[in-house]
Each structure stands twice: as C-alpha cells, then as structure tokens.
Chains A and B, each alone.
Chain A
Amino acid sequence: MLLRRPFSVLLSVLASLALAGTALAADLAALVGNLTSGGLGEREAAITALATSGDERAVPILEALGAGQLYIRNSDKLVVIGKVDGNKLALTEAISAKPAGSAVEADLERVRVNNRLRGTIEAAVGSLTLMSPNARTRLNAADALFKRRDATALAALDLALAAEKDPRIKRVMSEARAAIVLATADSPPTQKLAAIALVRERGDRDSLGILKIVAAASDGEVKTAATAGADSIEQALAAWQMAQNVWYGISLGSVLLLAAIGLAITFGTMGVINMAHGEMVMLGAYTTFVVQEVIRTSAPHLFDVSLLIALPLAFVVSGAIGILIERTIIRFLYGRPLDTLLATWGLSLVLQQAVRSIFGSSNREVGAPSWMSGAFQLGQLNITYGRLWIVVFALIVFASLILLLRKTPLGLYMRAVTQNRPMAAAVGIRTPRVDALTFGLGSGIAGLAGVALSQIDNVSPNLGQGYIIDSFMVVVFGGVGNLFGTLIGALTLGVVNKFLEPYAGAVLGKILVLVFIIMFIQRRPRGLFALKGRSVE
C-alpha cells in the first residue's frame, strides 16, 4: 500500500514525460509558482508538471522542497531556498539561483510537503536527472539507481533507456534496470536470467552483493545462474585484488628505488658505504618543507608548483653537502670500506642532531599540491595520484641516471673508474674529481628522493633512518654496481612485501623479507646481477 501511491503518481509523471517531447516546455517560473500555491493535491500536480518540463534547474528546487528548505518570503512573495547559517537562514532565489540575503524563519513561510509528496518528489528528481541533458548527471543518476535498486524508478528508467544515445550511459542504465529486476521478487525468470548476465558482466563488488542476495533468495535456474555469476565475479575480483597488490608493490618498490638508487651509485661505483645516505634523503625532504614555507608566506599562488621548485633545490642542497662530505671525510678513507661505514654513521648522527636543533624534533607538515591529491579508478583498481606520480618520478629519475651514465662524458668517466680505477687514472681521468662528482650525484639523487618521500612520510629528523637498511637490502639484493639490478631488486622486494602483508601482517612480512634477503645473500653473495671479472675481488 505504501508503495502504490507514489507509484501511481509516478505513472502519471511518466505519462506526461512521454508527452514532454511534443509539449511546449512550460515556463519554469510559472511552474514553481504553481508549486507554492494551493493545497497538497495541486502541489502534487505541480511537481509532476515540473518533472515533465525536463528543466534541469528544477532539480535543486525539488530537492529543497523535499528537504523542507523551500520558502516563500513574506515581504515580496519570492520563492527562495533557505539553508541554515547560524541562527538565520541564508537565502537563494529559487528560480534564478542567485543569493537573496538572509532572513529569520519568522519572515518566511515554508512550502509544506508530506510523506506522499516526498515520494513523488524523489521520483520526479530521479526522472529529471535520468533525462538530464548533462551526460555526467545522467550517469551518476543511473549509477545511484544501480546501488539503490529502487523499484519505483523502473518506469522512469525504461523511458530514459529508450531515449539514451550515449552507449556508456545506456549500459549503466541497463545494469541499473537489471539490478531493479533482480530486486523485484516477482519479475519473470527469463528477465532475471538476462539481468544476471548483465550484472555479472559489470563485475564489481556491488554486483557480487546483488548476485549473492539473488542466489540466496531464489531457486532453480536463476539460483544456478546467480551462483555461477557470483563465483565468476569473485574470481575476477581476486584477480583485481592481485593486480591491486602488484600496484601497491610497485608503488612501494618505486619508493625503495628512489631511496636506494643514489646509494647504488656511491656504493656500487666507489665502494663507499654511505650510512648518511638516509640523511641526504631527509635533507631533501626538509628542503621541500622550507620551499613550501617560503611559498606559503610570500607567494601562495605558486603552491601547486612548490614541488617542482623544490626538486632542483633539493638536488643542489644534498649534492653540495655530499661533495663537501666526500672532500672532507670520505676521500681519506678510500679502500677502507668498513671505516667509511663508521665515519658516515657518525656523520648521520651529526646531521640528524643538526636538523633537530634547527627545525625541532617534531614532524613537519609538507602539503600535497592539488595535482597530487585524489584518486581514480582503473577497472577495479584504486590508484591515488600521489602514488602514481611517485612511480612515474622514480622511473624518470632512473631513466635520466641511465642516460647520464651511458651518454655523457661524466658517465663514461664514472663507468671507467668503477670498472678499473688504476687504469682509468692511467689514461688521464682525474679520479678524485670523478669520485667527488659521483658522490655528489648520488647524494643529489637522495635529495630528489627526499622531495618525493616528503609526500608520503613524516618529515622528521628520523626520516632517513627508516630507509637506510631497506636501501642497503635493495642494493645488495640487486647486485652492487648494477643499476638495473637495483631497479629489479627494488620492485621485487616491494611486490614481495605487499604480497606477504595480507597473510603475515606488515611487520612479519618485513621480517620474512629480511630473512629472505639474508638467505639470498648466502646463495648469491654478490646479488642478483653480479659484476663479473677480475676487478671484483
């Protein structure tokens, strides 16, 4: 009984809707005027008429009416929408949607509705949005209908389907229709089977839910089809879940790659164990923080490009400090890798404490520019822009580094020094200079990593410490002195880590990865892709 009333009203709405194409669209103002005059019966007719008009501007008015926010102003009988703002109501003119000042409730008269009218309004809004000239509105309406499975909207949906030209929206509408058919207990089995096929093809979590309900509630052929559909969706979803895990893994791997790649250069080329590498990353992150602070205070409109400004600065800051370290400490320790390890560890403590003294030990806020926030849906994958950009950035950094090593004179010198230091010196390469530049380059890249990591991690003096062990694992796993090894090592460890997480939990997963690496180094002490030749020993 409860349903029948709005349903019959809806039929009349639809009947008039069918005529709407031929009928002249009535003036919105007049229709709204009808809405506010007369009794509830007339109001119903007016709503129907508004729905028939197909005028999209009617949607907010109808919604306001349904929510009890449509008023008539006593002073000039203007129809307004009132939203609570403090102890007054902020008014908007209903027809022109212009602000109309504010008023207290006593100066206004509310346009009354009852529950029955609310049903009518909802149906009217539904059909208006489904028929809206705006494709996005139609799509959202159809999608919402799929989730709501509102049987009363079936007739409106059928009409909209008949009128729809856009194949994508048409598809969503037929899916919504299928969902409604499945939700209605007495629809014929042939229709239900067709509907199951449609819903199964959609294949997301909502579809799975619908099919499971159908499978539980029905029997015979429909039950079999629904069960089969649910199973196939479940399988597909498992595959998507796998893909999502791979994506998370790649995302983690790219972070590891960023942190490790600079280390791969200094460790791989120069055999220097730079324990202060993590602090170079931290300095990059703090550079980003300083850049954003300056922008915030002096040029807020540049905020969206703050990261782009921070990148070169971070590279220069970390790189310069790297060169300074090389010139003052590390160059005295060549050939004593274990001593460099201790000295750079000490250095990392000094840098941490220095940053703590300057910026304080609490986390610093680094904001995300607008193009890095938000997410999008790819099939069933949920991809955040921030992560996507970090993956892209890591690959760009990696590619530029490869280019630098392969195509520039500096790269040539660096490779020569890596492969055979005495011979490189003998043919006239100034190895100390190359060492300094290499160390600067590695540190500079760590700075770049810091800019990226400032987006996903807390910017604190301890930022670097969290990455140093992981970075070493990546470099050692991939093979020292081999950048592609580092790439593959980082991605492998990232993906393995993310695949272990659902089964073992984050911490245990990490422990397993560490144990795996310890075992792996036993098998291949020089990593996945080991350098071969006499120079290695």
Chain B
Amino acid sequence: MITRFLWQGMTRNLRLFVLLVLAVGILVPLSNLLLPPDSAFRMPSWAVQLVGKYLCYASLALAVDLVWGFCGILTLGHAAFFALGGYCMGMYLMRQIGTRGVYGNPILPDFMVFLNYKELPWFWHGFDSFWFAAPMIVLVPSVLALALGWFAFRSRVTGVYLSIITQAMTFALLLAFFRNDMGLGGNNGMTDFKDILGYSVQSDTTRAVLCFVSALALAIFLVISAAIVGSRFGKALTAVRDAESRMRFLGYRVERYKLFVFVLSAAMAGIAGALYVPQVGIINPGEFSPGNSIEAVLWVAVGGRGTLIGPVIGAFIVNFGKTYLTGALPEVWLFALGALFIVVTLLLPKGVVGLWTQVMNRSRERRARAAA
C-alpha cells in the first residue's frame, strides 16, 4: 500500500529525474574511486565533495519548495533547520574525536576545554552514539518547526508576517549560537572532525559514500514529495496556497495541512544539513544568517517554484555559478546574485522549468498547427 502511495505521484519526467539523481550519486563517486588517476572521466576528489554539497543544497531547496511552492508559506528561515541538523551531526562528530583533539580530553571537545568547561553540558549527553544523534537530526528541527508552526498557523499569521517571523527566528538563533555560553562552539563553531561511524571523514571512500547517501536522500525526498503532492492531501495543500480563506470556509483545518508540511520540510532540511556537515568539515553560526535562507529561496525561484524538479536544478545552477564566480571574479558574484534575484522575479516567475515547459508547449503548438 505504501508503495502504491509512493508511486502515485511519479510522473514519467519525475521518474527519469530521480534516476538521473541516483545516477549522478553513483557514477560520480565511482569514477573517483575506480578509474585510474589519469583517466579523462575520473572525477577529482574535490569535485565529488562539491557534488555532494550541491546535492545537500538541492535537498534544502526541495524542502523550501514544498512549503513555498505547494503551500504558499514563504519561509525565510529554512537554513535554520538545515543548520540545526548540521549542528546535531557536528556534535556527534565532535564526540568521535575523543583524545585526538589538541587538548586530548577524552570527554570534552577542544573548544570546551578552551572555554574552561568542567563537564559536558546536559544537552551533549548521548551524542557520542550515532543512533542517538540520528533521530536528533530529524527531531530537533521538527520540534522547532512544530512549535513555531503550531503557534503561527493557529493564529493565522500568513504571508509577509510569517516570512518576517521565520526570519526573526533564524536571526535569533544566529545570535544565540554566536554566544560562547551556548556550549556549541560559539563563533568558531565545530570543525576538525575525524571519524564518522568509524571511517575517516577525510578519506576518498567516505566522501564517495557521503556523496552517494546525499543523492539517495534527495531521491527519497523527491519520491516522498511527489507522493504527497500527487495525493488528495496534496491537492488540498495547493488549494490552501491559492485560496486559504475559501478552504477554511469549506471546512478544512487549514492549519493542520500547513503544520504537517512545515514540519516535514524542516525534517528534510535537517537531514540535508546533517549530510552537509561531514562533507564540508565545519559547522558554524554563519549557517543561520538570514541571507542563507533567502538564497535557498532563490534556488527554488530560479529552478521553478511549485515544481519538484525545479528546486534541484535551481540549486545546482546557482551554486555552480557561485563556485565559479567567487573563484574567478569575486567582485562580480554579488552583482550576479542580486541581478539573478531581480531577473527571475521580474521575467521568470516560473523559473527555468517553467521556461522549458513554455518553450516545449509552443513548439508542440507550432507542430500541431503545421500538421493541421
């Protein structure tokens, strides 16, 4: 039954796209591991890492799209859920360092020794075990989303006000995580990770596996999202987006629909963040900055809001541009990013995917006309 539920949302295009994502997730790491170093098709290690990173961003974008594109909630704080998942993973990775830290303390991570902590703060307990950290990665962002959403949706905070609330939330978290008293590394965050599940985070094999897992996660998120969007529930969700008051008058409990999607999306963002941290090797409070969340919204806007493929494509396009431009022409990057925001909202309200559909439709029409 579950398989049927999951299968119902899969259009032909989406099925192909999920296969493509999985293919990237398999071929890129494999080419790095199996092909000889001088082969033209071998991906260098940094590229594997980069693709892994982009895949995590794509998951975040998909999470944003699920609430914004299908439910009309413009969240300006989704990077906060991403970062919280990342911090949970970071805490687990810190505990794995053990005595290999600079100070060699078997219990306390380096920054705690440095800040004169005598014992582990209570919320650090349990993070030495992956099987405790893993559910936390999902739970912590979900509970925050549940609390925020529960209050906000019940009070019918909508539109711009909700955007501002989510932004205030991520800003407050940014300030909080910058504090050394939080016991989470302060402004330096956490870094110098050694092992994940016993394997070195530096090794090519681990990186390859992480890249694959990121692709797998994205593929699973795509399937789940497609199933939800394609179901009756998804239809109601879209209706909430387009005419919230009307849905309420028809007797739907609008806030429950919103809350469910919001929490699910936060959980997805958390997992994406957790996969992101071991690949980049650092997590710091900068991840909470409001700009990051807004950038994630841009990925969705570029790719195509309200489509499932769009956010993934958008995340890849924008981040590839970012990697290239910040390296080659750092001055230009912010101009380009800013211009992209403006151009997309003004000229491409449906994003790249929307443009593609438009072009396809037009050529189909032309063909039909030619045939007639």
Contacts and interface: CB of A to CB of B under 8 A. Distances in A.
Instruction: Say if A and B assemble together.
Output: yes
A537 B243 CA distance: 12
A329 B148 CA distance: 33
Contact of B161 (A352, A507, A521): A521
B159 A349 contact: no
A269 to B, nearest CB: 14
B159 A507 contact: no
Contacts, number: 117
Residue with the highest number of chain A CB atoms closer than 10 Å, among B157, B164, B340: B164
A422 interface: no
A517 interface: yes
B334 A349 contact: yes
B331 A511 contact: no
Nearest to B152: A522
B341 A346 contact: yes
B175 A522 contact: no
A343 B341 contact: yes
Interface stretch (A192-200, A332-340, A439-447): A332-340
Given A507-B175, A511-B176, A522 B346 contact: no
Contact of A347 (B154, B169, B341): B341
Given A342-B345, A521-B161, A522-B157, A469 B290 contact: yes
B346 A333 contact: yes
A525 B157 contact: yes
Interface string A481-524: 00000000000000000000000000110110011011101110
Interface in B251-306: 290, 294, 297-298, 301
Contacts of B298: 342, 346
Interface string A448-477: 000000000000000000000100110010
B155 A353 contact: no
A334 to B, nearest CB: 12
B338 A347 contact: yes
Contacts of B172: 510-511, 514-515, 518
Interface in B153-200: 154-161, 163-165, 167-169, 171-172, 175-176, 178-179
A350 interface: yes
Contacts of B346: 329, 332-333, 343
A523 B341 contact: no
Interface residues of A, number: 43
B163 to A, nearest CB: 7
B179 A339 contact: no
B345 to A, nearest CB: 4
A341 interface: yes
Contacts of B165: 518, 521
Contacts of A514: 168-169, 171-172, 175
Contact of B156 (A340, A354, A525): A525
B342 A343 contact: yes
Contacts of B294: 342, 345
Contact of B157 (A340, A356, A521): A521
B335 A350 contact: yes
Contact of A341 (B157, B163, B344): B163
Nearest to A472: B164
Given A343-B346, A352-B334, A518 B339 contact: no
Contacts of B159: 337-338
B349 interface: yes
A517 B355 CA distance: 40
A490 to B, nearest CB: 16
Contacts of A357: 331
A510 B175 contact: yes
A333 B176 CA distance: 35
Interface residues of B, number: 43
B160 A342 contact: no
Contacts of B175: 507, 510-511, 514
Contacts of A347: 338, 341-342
A347 to B, nearest CB: 6
Contacts of B176: 507-508, 511
Contact of B297 (A342, A353, A507): A342
Nearest to B300: A342
B233 interface: no
A346 B178 contact: no
A278 to B, nearest CB: 12
B208 interface: no
B151 interface: yes
Residue with the highest number of chain A CB atoms closer than 10 Å, among B159, B160, B344: B160
B345 A339 contact: yes
A346 B157 contact: no
A427 B16 CA distance: 56
A522 B151 contact: yes
A476 B163 CA distance: 11
B370 to A, nearest CB: 35
B337 interface: yes
Interface string A287-331: 000000000000000000000000000000000000000000100
Given A337-B160, A339-B349, A511-B175, A469 B167 contact: yes
A348 interface: yes
Contacts of A469: 167-168, 171, 290
A58 interface: no
B222 interface: no
B345 A349 contact: no
Contacts of A348: 338
Which are the 10 A-B pairs with shortest beta-carbon distances? A346-B341, A350-B338, A349-B338, A353-B334, A514-B172, A346-B338, A343-B345, A522-B155, A522-B151, A339-B345
21 contacts: A273-B160, A273-B163, A338-B163, A339-B345, A340-B345, A342-B298, A342-B345, A347-B341, A349-B334, A349-B338, A350-B334, A350-B335, A353-B331, A353-B338, A473-B168, A507-B175, A518-B165, A519-B151, A521-B152, A521-B161, A521-B164
Given A349-B338, A508-B179, A522-B151, 9 more contacts: A273-B163, A347-B341, A350-B334, A350-B339, A357-B331, A476-B164, A519-B151, A521-B165, A525-B158
